[in-house]
Amino acid sequence: MQKTIKTSNVVLYGTPVKVEVVEGDMVRGYKIHFPEISAATQSILESVKDEMLKETKISAQEIFDTRSVERLEEEFMKKSRDILSKRLPRIESRTKNALVCHLLCDMIGLGPLEVPLADPDLEEVVINTAREPAWVFHRQYGWLKTNVTIPSEKQIQNYASIIARRVGRQITTLEPLLDAHLVTGDRANATLFPVSTKGNTITIRKFRRKPWTITDFIANKTLTTEVAAFMWLVIQYELNMIIAGGTSSGKTALLNSLMPFIQPNHRIISIEDTRELRLPDFLHWIPLTSRLPNPEGKGEVSMLDLMINSLRMRPDRMVVGEIRRGPQAEVLFEAMHTGHSVYATLHADTAGQVVKRMTNPPINIPHVMLEALHLIVVQYRDRRKGIRRTYQVAELLPAGEVEEKRKARVSVLYRLRPDGNIIAHNPCVRVFDVLRMHTGMSNNEIVNDLKEKIKVLDYMVKKNIKDVNEVGKTIAEYYSDRDSLMKKIRGK
């Protein structure tokens, strides 16, 4: 008998489904407890499915609209319950819920994959071939082998086609690669045989339904309140920042958590390949997403196209999902030099690597342009412990006047120690200089401002304010009625 490590319930279409993480022979497993359905019941479900499909009409616009998908789910749930009640009048409520869940997974979902897709503890759901069980990546336990096996390669291709149709694309033998995102925000990739020689594959990268907030990161020790307050200061006074790190180090999550620090009356334009950012509802935010070309090679809207266009949309702040190419970086730094406040992510493991990547091919930005960047934050993922931490916070010092020193340099302000603590490293020079010049504040006033922000952040952590809108409202209150908020924090 397999030893159970963890048991939980995944709620799918209002129905709890039991899942277990279990010990296996070679690797740990992810066991889903599906209800047993007899051949007779399956026959009834097929006839219910046919009846519902005849009665329901879905337009193309509804497929692409998140709200319409939610409405369709509710409509399908109601119809399936009504039909099952007529066909099986003596059925128990619990069994009916399980059958409704099974129907909806088949009709508007990806079958048995819907259970792991609904599990908040999972980051990735993967199908490698019909000959092997699907795999999932658990936040705590890493890769786990499931008890879900797709019956045929044709069915895997069918699931890939469903994903493609939902984003207005197709995957065929002639176009065997698909990279898309679902209406839920999850990123999906699919490949077809013989490009993937083992069989058809689907890889779905899940994104957290409830976005991480700065209070989450402070509470789980990803960073300290002092570091968060310093980044708040930088964002409030419109300095430029790049967040770097390796794959899955939490770059975008941290970027998202910092966006509520922007004043509510500032216009924000975000540019992404895949929509990942989720800002407070009340912010003045315009999200833009790039588009791949159609099978005829037409209709592409690149990140560069969006970045150039966004400059004509009068942004106060520009947020870019990731810098990958020289032209993107040129537009980004041109925006910095023309007075826009810019935030972006980049793949690099240290602050020094950020400078090297930016000033060498393929990005190749001149050191003189790089000076517009003020702060570099580096995220780190500890694969052994399964945790993410802020590794470095560094300011970019301007290049010197002497020829051999005409290169931008980094000064690390905070760093992660081997024991897991984040400590101050070097005194802040350039950021304080810029703040003094643009705000007229003295060093003491800047330090007092930081202390006040630390109190606000500590207050939110203490009060367990973790919802992105609630965090945003507290910060908005700080901007609109600072004295009242500070009195509330002091308990007066």
Q: Among residues 207, 237, 246, which one has the least CA distance to residue 392?
A: 246
pLDDT at site 405:
55
pTM summary value: 0.82
Sign (positive or negative) of CA dihedral 215, 217, 218, 220: positive
pLDDT at site 224:
97
pLDDT at site 58:
57
Looking at the DSSP assignment, which residues form a beta bridge with residue 388?
A: 381
The residues spanned by each domain of the chain are 4-205, 214-490
Which residues of the chain fall short of a pLDDT of 50? Answer: 402-404
CATH architecture assignment, domain 4-205: 2-Layer Sandwich (3.30)
Tokens representing 339 are 């007075």
pLDDT at site 407:
76
pLDDT at site 69:
65
Q: Where are the beta strands (DSSP E) in 163-251?
A: 177-181, 187-191, 201-205, 241-245
Looking at the DSSP assignment, which residues form a beta bridge with residue 203?
A: 126, 189
DSSP 8-state assignment for residue 416: E
Which CATH number is correct for 214-490, 3.40.50.300, 1.10.3720.10, 3.40.190.10, 3.30.2350.10? 3.40.50.300
**How many Cα atoms within 13 Å fall on the side-chain side of residue 153?**
11
pLDDT at site 55:
67
Burial 95-128 (b: 16+ CB within 10 A, else e): ebbbbbbbbbbebbbbbbbbbbbbbebbbbbbbb
Q: Among residues 221, 208, 144, which one has the least CA distance to residue 382?
A: 221
β-pairing, 375-382 vs 29-32, is unpaired
pLDDT at site 298:
86
pLDDT at site 477:
97
DSSP string of 9-21, one letter each residue: EEEETTEEEEEEE
The three-point CA angle 276-62-191 to 5° equals: 55
pLDDT at site 249:
92
Mean pLDDT of the chain: 89
